[in-house]
């Protein structure tokens, strides 16, 4: 978690403007604060990520390779450097304005103004895990959950690749249902637990470290009325058979982390589930799938 005073690390990568959304999502999963410049004369954009811990070179390579593959380009060169001592949480919080997403109001502890009347508050801090409500994919997933809530009840849910746990918290607050939140990053699991306590849903949200659907807790809790996964198109397609096996009849899958031109492939990989809704926010899609009739 990016916290307190201490040495920070800086990751820098330059990509074409058209590839910025995919690489922003990839860097978001590495955590920390993100920044980007305006496109240069050559159409290239500099993306930067700041974190308290030194990024793992192999993990960075894998995540950026997936983003590159999804945009049809070669892995771009990147550099990782140590920066002087700064309180990067304080710096990150300055940039995290409150977010309205459907009925949800996403904010950090630094926000002092009163909560909007009738809103569902979720407090999330700047951290090394992806999911503060700022990105279109998270925003769209929250919108999708609110739409499902209008017509359907949920008794058991799974948040696959939970990041900060923001979607698990949203499910718990909407339905008062138990949610299993799984991630392969120990920091994400710890943060999800912390955020569940901050938001007073610790009795509903259970965070577990695991390798996707291979996590023993997933099989133990299946089937699920709702599965949410805000990751990337490639992993979503790879895990599609596992999602289908773990989704209850009449259940719903909310999938994101994919560009609009990747939606068709993700939907097809989840056959025989059918597409109920494709929520598009800029270049990003959020898919709601359900078993066919």
* pLDDT tens, residue by residue, 64-86: 999 999 899 999 999 999 876 54
* Range from 6-10, 167-171, 206-210, 211-215 carrying the lowest mean pLDDT: 6-10
Give the pLDDT mean for 114-126.
81
Higher pLDDT, 270 or 3: 270
Place of tokens 């550099």: 79
**pLDDT tier, 7 (very low <50, low <70, confident <90, very high otherwise):** very low
Which domains does the chain show, CATH number per domain? 8-91 (3.30.70.120), 131-291 (3.40.50.150)
Give the pLDDT mean for 248-260.
94
Half-sphere exposure of 269 (CA within 13 A, CB side): 19
For residue 91, pLDDT beyond 80: no
Q: What is the CA radius of gyration of the chain?
A: 18
* pLDDT tens, residue by residue, 270-290: 999 999 999 998 888 999 999
> What DSSP assignment string belongs to 217-253?
HHHHH-SEEEEEEES-HHHHHHTHHHHHHHEEEEEEE
pLDDT for 128 = 45
Place of tokens 């977010």: 99
């Amino acid at each position: 978690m990016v916290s307190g005073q201490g040495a920070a690390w800086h990751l820098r990568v330059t990509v074409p403007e058209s590839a910025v959304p995919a690489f922003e999502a990839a860097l978001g999963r590495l955590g920390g604060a993100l920044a980007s410049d305006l496109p240069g004369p050559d159409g290239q954009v500099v993306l930067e990520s700041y974190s308290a811990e030194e990024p793992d070179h192999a993990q960075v390579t894998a995540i950026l390779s997936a983003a590159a593959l999804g945009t049809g380009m070669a892995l771009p060169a990147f550099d990782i450097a140590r920066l002087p001592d700064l309180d990067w949480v304080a710096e990150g919080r300055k940039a995290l304005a409150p977010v309205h997403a459907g009925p949800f109001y996403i904010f950090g502890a630094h926000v002092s103004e009163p909560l909007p009347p009738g809103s569902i508050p979720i407090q999330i801090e700047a951290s090394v895990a992806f999911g503060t409500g700022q990105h279109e994919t998270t925003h769209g997933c929250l919108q999708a959950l609110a739409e499902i809530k209008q017509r359907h009840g949920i008794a058991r849910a799974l948040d696959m690749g939970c990041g900060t746990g923001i979607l698990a918290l949203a499910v718990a607050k909407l339905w008062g249902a138990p949610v299993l939140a799984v991630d392969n990053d120990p920091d994400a699991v710890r943060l999800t637990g912390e955020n569940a306590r901050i938001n007073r849903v610790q009795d509903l949200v259970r965070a577990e470290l695991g390798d996707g659907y291979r996590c023993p807790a997933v099989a133990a809790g299946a089937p699920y009325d709702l599965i949410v996964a805000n990751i990337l198109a490639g992993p979503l397609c790879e895990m599609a058979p596992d999602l289908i096996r773990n989704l209850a009849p009449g259940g719903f899958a909310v999938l994101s982390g994919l560009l609009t031109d990747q939606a068709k492939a993700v939907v097809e990989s989840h056959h025989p589930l059918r597409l109920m809704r494709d929520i598009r926010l800029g270049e990003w899609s959020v898919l709601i799938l359900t078993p066919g009739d």
